[in-house]
Homo-oligomer: A and B are copies of this chain.
Amino acid sequence: MKTKNKIREAVLTDRKTITVRFSEVDAMQVVWHGEYIRYFEDGRESFGKHYDGLKYMDIFNSGFLAPMVELNCQYKQSLTFGEEAIIETRYIRTAAAKIMFDYTIYRASDNTVAATGSSVQVFVNAQTRELELNNPPFYADWQKRWIKD
């Protein structure tokens, strides 16, 4: 499931530009490694807006939550305060009842890769918090709408 050596084929891709905040930079004067997890979340939310129907609130309003079960990040180059970065969020197809994304964070000024990553989310019923083993209807619909074979 690692994305270290090759780029997995993605069916849908979103790109969002952010600017590094002062509060995200650590004592080494680069973005603290934990902040990339927030950038990935920004990327997912931007993706869900772009490919309408997969934002956090869309999932919640359909009666589900999509908790994170796996998160990976590889750090390549540091980013500093005030720099612009591009969060590329790529949807990875899977037959399982999961949402899988790969990420690449680019420094906007020269397009070098600052970090890569991947995440896996599952579905739980928002009321019972029980795991959904099959794709919720709203998600099957979303896939039908956006993913052409």
Contact = CB atoms under 8 A, between A and B. Distances in A.
Interface of A: 1-2, 21-23, 25-30, 32-34, 37-38, 41-42, 45, 55-57, 65, 67-75, 78, 81-82
B67 A82 contact: no
5 closest pairs, A vs B, by CB? A34-B37, A33-B68, A25-B27, A71-B73, A27-B29
Contacts of A27: 22, 25-27, 29, 81
B23 A41 contact: yes
18 contacts: A22-B26, A22-B27, A23-B26, A23-B41, A25-B27, A26-B26, A27-B27, A27-B29, A28-B65, A34-B37, A34-B41, A57-B81, A67-B78, A69-B74, A70-B74, A70-B75, A71-B71, A71-B75
Contacts of A65: 28
Contacts of A57: 81-82
Contact of A81 (B42, B56, B68): B56
A50 to B, nearest CB: 14
Nearest to A57: B82
B37 A21 contact: no
A41 B22 contact: yes
Nearest to A117: B71
A38 B32 CA distance: 10
